[in-house]
Amino acid sequence: MRVYVINGPNLNFLGIREKDVYGENSYEALCNYIEKEAKKLNIEVECFQSNIEGEIINCVQDAYQNADAIIINPGAYTHYSYAIMDAIKSVNLKTIEVHLSNIYKREEFRHKSVTATVCVGQISGFGFLGYKLALEAVAMIN
């Protein structure tokens, strides 16, 4: 099984930005964690990060022919990117949305996810563990 793990804006600044919200670990540490956990489940992962909406859409579309499922943290695009939502919907792959922080304990605008409406489920508030939970869920539903 092959899973694309797609991360959106500012995830590349993990360990730098808002450490009280996102923690001290870097994006590289997150990718290493995801790869380690995926290996335990015999899942091949492709980690991708971009601050650019179109590149995220291109990656989702690339998953159509190259992956069995998607795990996505769209970052701030979660709340307003109908383009990413449409891309996820169009590829028709099992997709799980992940957020490091609990978006429902934060600012009001973060409580709405347009992208989650086309995902199998959403995991938020568990930090890096959310990605492990998403990998386990993908393994069970595919």
Mean predicted confidence (pLDDT) in 102-114: 76
- Provide the number of structural domains found in the chain: 1
Look at strands 121-124 and 94-99 and give their pairing: parallel
The enclosing domain of 102 has a CATH number of 3.40.50.9100
The 10 Å Cβ neighbour count of residue 20 is 6
Q: What is the pLDDT of residues 37-92, one digit of tens each?
A: 999 999 999 999 999 999 999 999 999 999 999 999 999 999 999 999 999 999 99
99 labelled catalytic: yes
pTM above 0.75, yes or no: yes
pLDDT of res. 141: 92
Range of the structural domain that residue 41 is part of: 2-141
* Under 8 Å between Cβ of 86 and 60: no
Instruction: Examine the pLDDT at 22 and tell me if it is beyond 70.
Output: no
| Of 21-30, 36-45, 120-129, minimum mean pLDDT range | 21-30
- Active-site annotation holder among 99, 104, 111, 131: 99
- Active-site annotation holder among 4, 22, 77, 131: 22
